[in-house]
Every structure is written in structure tokens, then in C-alpha cells.
Structure 1
Amino acid sequence: MSTEIIYQTLAILLGFAGLIWSADRFVASSASIAKNLGMSTMTIGLTIVSLGTSAPEVLVALSASLSDSGSLAMGNALGSNVANIALVLAITAIVAPIPIAKQLFKMEAPFLVGVTALLGLFIFNGELSRLEGLILLLLIPVFLWLVSRTQTGVEQEEIERSEGFKTFAWFIVSLAILIGSANTLVWGAKGVALTLGVSELLIGLTIVAVGTSLPELAASVASALKGHHDIALGNIIGSNIFNIIAVASIPGVVGPLAIDPDILSRDYYVMAGLTALLVIACALTLKRRGSKLGRSFGVVMLSSFCAYYYFLV
């Protein structure tokens, strides 16, 4: 085994360790900030937490696009959305079944469906142009404004109030470690994969997508175990929205990007299908009062994720 492979393996292990430690601190400080500022936990899950845990995808997309590796960036965006639903949310639901808040269907769920359909419309011709990428990017302030409007007055979960400066300091430190750990893990995993001759798109859809989704996994599971279900679900919905408008848009803005045929014939439809299944499952769960997005949903989604990755590999 070469020295480089040893370093890459160590990076993977250190990345996992950093994610596990920082996720707990990140969720606790995020929930406290929500309480201190009078924000609902759903709002902070949809904005601060989802933006923070989507930062690795944004950094990877920008770096890849500037390095003329737009397919890796697009694969990262689509693959992360698949992983967020069929891996992150699935494991979270298995560990701690999630109740659904009806406020989710005021704007957030329809917005996710809308931007997913818009991305499909943009890439249908086999290219994501600069104008199309810019349109997606400009939806970021629109989404943040809509969240602030629809989540105003939403009942909050009971969260312990903390000292403002100390809480904010922990939030910044834990977010930095969370992002750094994810990047360290991705660097190690990508290095190992490249030695095996794996394609750029496949790396983006698998190793990079799962690696950059690990902050969502760590934050969502930690949130659910602490009883902050709105943060857990809001994190997934918000992250998937940002993966489209803030991650998938970047290679188009830098590009334009020629879309790999496999994305059009396979990967986009898998992401769109899982998004539709998530919204339908949430709607059906909400219709049955007192029920939760539970272990059966988690098992079905996790099985779908394994089947998709088996097909890819």
C-alpha cells in the first residue's frame, strides 16, 4: 500500500470522527440560536442549518466548475439530493420516526417540487446555460424571503435558552469543523476512487455526493435524537432546495455546462422520483393525524438507495 493511500484512508477516518463530534454541537447551538432569536426550529432548519450543511456541496461545485469538471459538480448536486432523501432521511426515520408539520406544505415542499421541475426543464436540451444557472441562483433570496414569511408565528419546540455569545461561538466552530471534516473525508475518498479509474460523473454521484451529504446525515440524526424533528426534516428539505439553486446552478454560471447523457436518462429521474415520493409520503403522513414518517418509510427509501447505487456500480 502506497503512502498516498494511507494518508487518504486516514483522512476518511478523521473526517468521520470530526463529523460525529461537530454534528452534536452544531445542532445544539442552532436550536439555541432559534430560541434566542425567536425563530421557529423549522425556519432555522430550512435556512441556517441547511445552508451550513450544504456548504460542502457548494464548495465542491465551485471548485469542480472552475477546474472544468462540471459533470462532477452536477453529479454532486443530483447525487446529494438522492442521498439526502434515500440515505439521510431514511436513516433518521429509522432511528427516530419524524412527525410532519403542516406548515411544510405552505411553501417549502411545493418550492422543492417546483425547482426540481425547473432544473429538469433547463437541462432537457442537454445543456445548462449561464442564463439558466443565473435564474436558479437568483432563487436563493426568493426562497429565504418566502421562508421568513411563511414560518413567522409558527409554534416553537421547547429548547433551552443559552448565552448568546457562547452559543454563536459554538455554532461557528462546530460548522467550521463540520465542513472541514466533510471536505477531508471527500478528499480521501475521491483520491482512493481515482486510483481505481472511476469516472468523474460516477465519483460525483457516489463518493462526493455521499461525502458532502454526511453533514446532513450527522445533523439530522442528532436533531431527531434530541427531539428537534423540525430541524431534522427542515434540514433535508432546505438542503435539497439549496443543492438545486445554489449547487447545480454553479456549473451553468461558470460554464455553460454540457449535460452528460446519463444524467438525462437516469440520474435526474431518480432524484425527481424520490423527491415526489418524499412529498407524497409527507402528505399521507400528515393526513393520518398522530402518525409519523417512520421505520417502514426509512427501510423502503434505504432499499431504493442501495438498489440505485448497485445499478451505478
Structure 2
Amino acid sequence: MIINLVIFLVGLVVLSWSADRFVYGASALAKNIGVAPMMIGLTIVAMGSSAPEIVVAATASLSGSSDTAVGNALGSNITNIALVLGITAMIKPLLVSSTTLRRELPVMLLITLIAVYFLSDSELTRIEGIILISLFVFVIAGMAVLSFKVEKNDPLVAETETEVPSNVPTTNAVFWVIVGLILLPLSAHFLVDSAVYIARYYGISDLVIGLTIIAIGTSLPELAASVAGVLKGEDDLALGNIIGSNIFNLLAVLAMPGLIHPSVIDGAAANRDSLVMLGLSVLLFVFCFNFRGTRQINRTEAGIFILIFLGYQYVLFS
């Protein structure tokens, strides 16, 4: 058991690090060939924050653990909103001033509703997987087009440009892309295998292990990015990381078990977890588009998120 715990922790660290290096290399390479920073931020960087979840879901699905993959997708979104945003806004209230984010929030809510509907029959089919991955491609294309239409005074523009690496030699950028492509699936393989062993040792279901330890672990990059963003005054970037990650989790991550290993899933995913995710998404929408006109997530609302997260974890393990 100790060995598997060590393998899990090492796998988690390597997974997060290799995802960061992959995004770094891909962003630098894209900038070197002339891609606009805003497009890089809305596509490569946003998608890269979900890279650990995508690779873990694919690995779990290949090994027949669809419940782990589904749990990872749902649990990551729950963790992103309730824990990551909760901690971030508790450190400093988040102002929502970017028109880009105000467009993406309704998209996230719509995609969440689609995901809840697909899971409502406790089955994820290959057709549903194809629909989700097709929507993923459509959203990426839409964000690329949107990057050309963002107003220059949108605060997200300046915040994004500071996050895209500059003056990185192309050979270095290619090197980090290759490192990421090698280490991401390798670390995910060891992480999933050890997590499944730990879950079975303690009598925890594959779904719950995906919802908790794997979801929280793979959401650590979002937590680090959001806290760093808010400390630098980049509120829109901090919130954008969460919204983008949640969209990609439901389209790319949730698509993996449908495409690779379509099967019946644990009924709790439909009757409990997807509804918690939907409720949190609606709550985030209400907090960002409140009737006071401030468009701010304050510390009281952050506290509500954290309490919901703690209560949810209690329910999972009670």
C-alpha cells in the first residue's frame, strides 16, 4: 500500500509538471510561428490546464475504468468551482470585468446541461462521446475566431499576453512539447493504476476515487494558476482558467470514456454528482451576473463555495 501511495504522489507531481511544460512549449512554439497571444491564451493555455484530466480519463478508459474517468471529469469541475474559486476569491474578491468571460459563462452552463442530460440514463455511449468531442473542436474554433474580435481594452487581453512565454528558442519549445507528450501518458498510467489499487484496498468505488483524490490532484494546476493570477491582480485570467477548464473537462475529458470504453456507469454520477456540478455552475453564473451590478465574487460567496465542497466530500465518504 505504501508503495502505491508513493507511486500515486510521484505520478501526480510528474503529471502536473509535464502538463505545465507541454503548455509552455506549445505556447512558445505557437508564438514563434506568429499566432496571436490572445488566441494562444484562449486555446492552447486554456486547453492545457485540462491536459492532466484528459490524459487520465483516456488512460482510465483504456483500462476499462470508465467510472474513474467520469468521476475525474465531474469531480474536477466541482473542485474547480467550489474549492479552487472558493480559495481564490477568499484570498481576494474576484471582479468579473471581461466581456469575453461574460460570453463564456453561458457557454459553460449550456455545456454543463448537455453533460447532465447525457449522464441522466447512467450510460455514456459512443455517439454521445462523438458529440462531446465534436463540440470540443467547435468550441476551440469558436475561441480562435473570438480572439480576433476581442476589444483591445478588454482586461483579459493584457493579462493573457503576460502569461504567454516570450523569447523562447524554437528548439527549446519543441523539446518541452516532446517531453510533455512522453511524460503525460506515462505518469497518467502509473497514477491511474495506483489510484485504482488504493480505492479497492479501502473499499472505495472507482467513481469516488475519480471524484476525489484524482480530481483534486489534477485540479492543482488550476489552483496554482488562479491564486497566482489573483495575487497579480489578474482577476479575469484567474476566473478564465476555471471557466475554460470546466468547458474542456466536459467536452474533451468526459468524451474519453464514451469514445474509448462506452458503458453503463455508476448511477450516483447521474443522481448525485452531475447535479452537484450543475448546481455549482448555476451558482457561479448567479454570482457573476448578480442583480447588484457589481459582477464580483466576494468572500461570503467564496465561503459558500468552500462549505459546499466540504459538505460534498462528507457525503461522498459517509
TM range, smaller chain = 0.7 to 0.9
Question: For residue 66 of structure 1, what is the amino acid of its counterpart?
Answer: L
CA-to-aligned-CA distance 1:219-266 (integer Å, 9 cap, x gap) = 222222233333321111111111111011111122322132111211
User: Which stretch of the first structure deviates more once superposed, 217-226 or 186-195?
Assistant: 186-195
The reply on whether 1:126 has 2:122 as its aligned counterpart is: yes
Structure 1: tracts of 5 or more residues without a match: none
The reply on whether 1:311 has 2:305 as its aligned counterpart is: no
Cα offset, 1:191, TM superposition: 4.4
Cα offset, 1:16, TM superposition: 7.2
CA distance in 2, matches of 1:132, 1:66: 17
Question: For residue 123 of structure 2, what is the amino acid of its counterpart?
Answer: E
Do 2:27 and 2:45's aligned partners in 1 also have CA atoms closer than 8 Å?
no
CA gap 1:38/1:204 in 2 versus in 1, 3 angstroms: same
CA gap 1:185/1:257 in 2 versus in 1, 3 angstroms: closer
The reply on whether 1:201 has 2:207 as its aligned counterpart is: yes
CA distance in 1, matches of 2:183, 2:239: 19
Do 1:129 and 1:253's aligned partners in 2 also have CA atoms closer than 8 Å?
yes
CA gap 1:267/1:78 in 2 versus in 1, 3 angstroms: same
Alignment match of 1:137 (pick from 124, 129, 133): 133
Query: What corresponds to 1:117 in structure 2?
Result: 113
CA distance in 2, matches of 1:181, 1:215: 18
Query: What corresponds to 1:61 in structure 2?
Result: 57
Query: What corresponds to 1:98 in structure 2?
Result: 94
CA gap 1:162/1:151 in 2 versus in 1, 3 angstroms: closer
Question: For residue 37 of structure 2, what is the amino acid of its counterpart?
Answer: M
Cα offset, 1:57, TM superposition: 1.1
Alignment match of 2:260 (pick from 254, 260, 265): 254
Alignment match of 1:154 (pick from 147, 151, 154): 151
Do 2:73 and 2:253's aligned partners in 1 also have CA atoms closer than 8 Å?
yes
CA distance in 1, matches of 2:180, 2:97: 26
CA distance in 2, matches of 1:272, 1:189: 26
The reply on whether 1:89 has 2:89 as its aligned counterpart is: no
Cα offset, 1:105, TM superposition: 5.2
When the two structures are superposed, what TM-score results if normalisation uses the length of structure 1?
0.81
CA distance in 2, matches of 1:135, 1:185: 28
User: Which stretch of the first structure deviates more once superposed, 272-281 or 219-228?
Assistant: 219-228
Do 1:11 and 1:185's aligned partners in 2 also have CA atoms closer than 8 Å?
yes
CA distance in 1, matches of 2:316, 2:237: 31
CA RMSD of aligned residues (A): 3.5
CA distance in 2, matches of 1:26, 1:154: 29
Do 2:121 and 2:270's aligned partners in 1 also have CA atoms closer than 8 Å?
no
Alignment match of 2:45 (pick from 39, 43, 49): 49
Structure-to-structure mapping, 1:154-233, within 5 angstroms? 154-155=151-152, 156-157=157-158, 162-165=166-169, 168=173, 172=177, 183=188, 191-233=197-239
Query: What corresponds to 1:39 in structure 2?
Result: 37
Do 2:86 and 2:303's aligned partners in 1 also have CA atoms closer than 8 Å?
yes
User: Which stretch of the first structure deviates more once superposed, 236-245 or 176-185?
Assistant: 176-185
Question: For residue 92 of structure 1, what is the amino acid of its counterpart?
Answer: T
Do 2:89 and 2:302's aligned partners in 1 also have CA atoms closer than 8 Å?
yes
Do 1:54 and 1:242's aligned partners in 2 also have CA atoms closer than 8 Å?
yes
Query: What corresponds to 2:302 in structure 1?
Result: 298
The reply on whether 1:78 has 2:77 as its aligned counterpart is: no
What is the identity percentage for the equivalent residue pairs of Structure 1 and Structure 2? 41
CA distance in 2, matches of 1:255, 1:185: 19
